[in-house]
């Protein structure tokens, strides 16, 4: 995606500061910039704007405004650069936990916007890749547990060894053009139905 194609949403209740950000972004080659002039915009308003990146400028945020913005960050799953005039360790940790990609204290300068935007996008993408890998690993572990339980049921009911139980699951999956984990889940469901829900 080229710089001209990136949709940037600026959230700032101060129109003058918002226009400084907008001007800096446009000078850096970003032409698709929109502004929400509200320190507590609804998630719906942000989703409707459909930004690729969000810049949030909070002059002197109180805890309620920060918490609202952190909730927004969690909900929209986009790179977010947050500018604040003052902060403390708890606010920084809350921002990181909420997925804010760049948290800049006392740093709103037009010439710094492009590197901050690039950093926010890069960090967001890296974090997203890690989250996807973690999700894949969790799914694989859960599937492994399901397969192991299904093998145990087949071993007990058919009087076969673990290798034969796995081969039976694999062969059934191939014959039915399904994944082994799906076949294993079917075995668990059938065993549950046949046992009346008793372990």
- Asked if residue 94 and residue 13 are part of one domain, the reply reads yes
- Asked if residue 78 and residue 9 are part of one domain, the reply reads yes
- Is residue 95 domain-resident? yes
- Asked if residue 104 and residue 139 are part of one domain, the reply reads no
- Is residue 116 domain-resident? no
pLDDT at residue number 61: 64
pLDDT at residue number 165: 95
Measured CA to CA, the distance from residue 140 to residue 184 in angstroms comes to 13
- Is residue 123 domain-resident? no
Q: Is the four-CA dihedral 30, 60, 88, 69 of positive or negative sign? A: negative
- Asked if residue 161 and residue 104 are part of one domain, the reply reads no
pLDDT at residue number 196: 74
- Is residue 40 domain-resident? yes
CA 113 to chain centre: 23
- Is residue 122 domain-resident? no
- Is residue 119 domain-resident? no
Could you list the residue range(s) of the whole structural domain that residue 178 is in?
Answer: 135-195
Q: For the chain, 199 residues long, give each residue's pLDDT as a single digit of tens.
A: 666 788 999 888 888 888 888 888 888 888 899 998 877 777 788 888 889 888 888 776 666 777 777 777 777 778 888 887 777 788 778 777 777 788 787 766 777 777 888 888 888 888 888 889 999 999 999 999 999 999 999 999 999 999 999 999 999 999 999 999 999 999 999 999 988 766 5
- Asked if residue 175 and residue 78 are part of one domain, the reply reads no
- Asked if residue 149 and residue 102 are part of one domain, the reply reads no
- Asked if residue 9 and residue 102 are part of one domain, the reply reads yes
pLDDT at residue number 171: 96
The DSSP call for residue 84 is E
Nearest to 84 by CA among 74, 75, 76, 95: 95
Q: What are the structure tokens assigned to 23, written together?
A: 């001007």
pLDDT at residue number 177: 96
The total domain count for the chain is 2
pLDDT at residue number 74: 74
pLDDT at residue number 159: 93
Residue 35: CATH number of its domain: 3.40.50.2300
Query: How many CB atoms sit inside 10 A of residue 160's CB?
Result: 15
- Is residue 88 domain-resident? yes
- Is residue 187 domain-resident? yes
- Asked if residue 67 and residue 159 are part of one domain, the reply reads no
């Amino acid at each position: 995606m080229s710089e001209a194609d990136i949709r940037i949403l600026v959230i700032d209740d101060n129109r003058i500061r918002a226009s400084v950000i907008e001007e800096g972004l446009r000078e850096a080659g970003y032409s698709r910039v929109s502004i929400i002039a509200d320190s507590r915009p609804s998630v719906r308003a942000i989703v409707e704007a459909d930004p690729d990146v969000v810049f949030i400028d909070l002059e002197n945020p109180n805890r309620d405004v920060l918490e609202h913005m952190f909730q927004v960050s969690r909900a929209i799953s986009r790179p977010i650069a947050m500018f604040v005039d003052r902060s403390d360790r708890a606010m920084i940790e809350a921002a990181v936990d909420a997925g804010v990609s760049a948290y800049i204290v006392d740093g709103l300068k037009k010439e710094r916007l492009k590197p901050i935007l690039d950093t926010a996008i890069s960090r967001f993408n890296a974090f997203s890749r890690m989250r996807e890998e973690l999700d894949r690993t969790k799914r694989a572990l859960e599937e492994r547990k399901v397969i192991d339980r299904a093998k145990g049921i087949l071993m007990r009911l058919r009087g076969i060894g673990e290798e034969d139980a796995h081969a039976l699951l694999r062969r059934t999956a191939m014959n039915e053009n399904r994944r082994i984990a799906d076949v294993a889940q079917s075995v668990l469901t059938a065993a549950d139905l046949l046992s009346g829900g008793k372990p």
